[in-house]
Amino acid sequence: MRTNLSVEEALALVLAEARGELGVEEVPLREAYGRVLAEDLASRVDHPDQDDTAVDGYACREEDTWGASGDNPVRLRVIGESPAGRPFAGRVGKGEAVAVYTGAPIPPGANAVVRVEDTRREGEDVLLFAPASPKDIRPKGDDLKRGEVYLRRGDLLTPGRLGLAAAMGYPRLKVFRRPRVGILSTGDEVVEPGEPLPFGGVYNSNAYSLLGLVLEAGGEPVLLGKVADRPEEVLARLEAAGPLDLLLTSGGVSMGEYDVVRKVLEERGEVVFWKVKQQPGGPLLLARLGGLPVLGLPGNPVSSMVTFFLYGRPFLFRLLGRTDPPYRPLKARALTPFKGAKGKKVFRRGVLSFEEELVVRTTGNQSSGVLRSMAFGNALVVLPPDRDAREGEVVEVIPLTFVL
Ligand code: AMP
Ligand code: MG
C-alpha cells in the first residue's frame, strides 16, 4: 500500500483502475440526452440538401438587378412562389423572379435573392430597391455534408449534439451503458433523513450529494444505504451489492479506532493507496475488492464531495471514454484571502463571477463539515502546498458548474 501521495500521483492510480469497456446499448434520441456516444456518426444527408434561401424575398438573376436602388427600382415579373418544403417547379428566366421563403430551394435559373424588405409588390410585378445578392443563398451542404463524421465515439450528448444527431438523420444512437456506482455510507451516528435524530446523530447527506454527483458524471447511482461501524456489517453489505463498476464508501477511512472501512478493505481486498496530501479529503483511500475498484471517501460532507469530484468523476469519464475533460481549470482574481496548508494541496470553496474579469470570493466558513460551501459555492480554489492566497492575487479555480 502506498501512502501520503500527491494529488497527481493519486489521480494517476485512480485512473489506472478504469480498465475494460462498458457495454453498449441503443437508445432512441429522446432518451439519449447526457449519454456518451459509442459510435462515430457520419451525416446521412446534406443540409441543406440543395442551395436554399436564408431569407424571405425574391429569387432572380443577379445580373437583372444591377444598379437597383430607391431612386432607380428594377421591375421583375413574379412567376411563382417557393415556400419551404415546396420547391417551385419552373425555371427563372430573364426579367423574372420567384417569391421565396426562408429554407426554400433556390429555383433553377436564379442565382441571387433580394430581401423582401428591399422590395414592393405591384400585382404581378415586384419592384426591387436594392440589387439581389448571392450572399443570402445557403449552398448545399453548408451545415452538414453527407458522409462527413460530425459526432464521435466518446462525445457527451449535449442538447446541441442531440439536435445535430437528429439533423444528420439518426433516430437511435448507440451509447455506452451507464457505469453502476455503489454508494455506501458508514458510521454509527449516520441516520436516514425522515428518521428521528438521536443525540449525536447526523443525517446521511453524503449518500445524496454523491448520488447527484454520480448522475451528473453520467453514472447510475446504486444506493446501498448505511451500515454501522462494524466490519461484519460493512462486509455483508458490500458482498450483497450486485454488479458494480465502482464502489464509493463514505466515512471510516481516517485514523480512528472505528474507521472500519479501511480495516475491511485491508483484510478482504487490496488497498492501493491511503492518504493524499490534500485538504479537504486527506484520508482518501483507493482499494480493489475482487475486481471492483473502491474509492473510500472521507465522511466529512465537503471531503466526500470534493474527493469524488477530483477522483471519482475523472474515473467515470475515463471508463466512459469521454472526449471532454472532467474539469477545466481557470485563473481568477481572489477578492478575499484563501488559506493554504503546510505540505498539502488545498481546495477551498469559492463563488466565481465575472466583474470586468473573472473574480472569486470565499463561500465563508471553510470547515470540511460545512456542506453549505458546496451547496452555494460554484468553484474550487486550488492552492499549491504551503501557499496562502492574498486578496488581489490571481489563483487557479476549477468551476463546479459543468459547462462544455
Ligand atoms: P469519518 O470519516 O467517518 O471519520 O467521519 C467524519 C465526519 O463526517 C463525522 O463528523 C461524521 O459524522 C460525518 N459523516 C460521516 N458520514 C456521513 C454521512 N453519510 N453524511 C453526513 N455526514 C457524515
Ligand atoms: Mg465514521
CA distance 243 to 205: 24
Q: How far is the CA of 283 from the centre of ligand 2 (A)?
A: 12
H helices then E strands: how many in the chain? Answer: 8, 27
The percent of residues in the chain predicted with pLDDT above 90, rounded, is: 93
User: Measuring from atom 5 of ligand 1, which residue has the nearest CA?
Assistant: 299
Q: How far is the CA of 208 from the centre of ligand 1 (A)?
A: 13
Coil/strand/helix, residue 208: helix
Distances (CA, A) of 363 to 262, 304, 385: 32, 18, 21
CA distance 214 to 158: 17
Provide the pLDDT for residue 241.
83
The strand pairing partners of 249, in sequence order, are 184, 296
Neighbours of ion ligand 2 (CB under 5 A): 187, 251-252, 299
The strand pairing partners of 99, in sequence order, are 58, 81
Provide the pLDDT for residue 353.
95
Provide the pLDDT for residue 404.
36
Question: Which domains, from first to last, does the chain contain?
Answer: 2-22+178-320 (3.40.980.10), 24-47+143-176 (3.90.105.10), 52-138 (2.170.190.11), 330-399 (2.40.340.10)
pLDDT tens digits, 76-86: 999 999 998 88
Band the pLDDT of 242: cuts 50, 70, 90: confident
For residue 118, is it left (φ>0), alpha (ψ between -120 and 50) or beta? alpha
* 314, 325 Cβ separation under 8 angstroms: no
> Does 105 have pLDDT greater than 50?
yes
| Nearest ligand atom owner, CA of 230 | 2
User: Measuring from atom 14 of ligand 1, which residue has the nearest CA?
Assistant: 299
Q: Which residue has the cell 469519464?
A: 317
> Does 64 have pLDDT greater than 90?
yes
Provide the pLDDT for residue 238.
84
CA distance 139 to 30: 30
pLDDT tens digits, 210-241: 999 999 999 999 999 999 999 999 989 988 88
Q: What is the DSSP letter of 264?
A: H
For residue 218, is it left (φ>0), alpha (ψ between -120 and 50) or beta? left
Q: What is the DSSP letter of 37?
A: B
CA distance 32 to 162: 7
Query: Which of 183, 186, 188, 202 should be mutated for ligand 1, with most atoms under 8 A from CB?
Result: 202
> Does 294 have pLDDT greater than 60?
yes
CB of residue 204 inside a 6 A radius of ligand 1: yes
* Mean model confidence pLDDT for the chain: 96
pLDDT tens digits, 252-291: 998 888 889 999 999 999 999 999 999 999 999 999 998 9
* 64, 80 Cβ separation under 8 angstroms: no
Q: How far is the CA of 294 from the centre of ligand 1 (A)?
A: 18
Residue 250: closest CA among 211, 207, 194, 191: 207
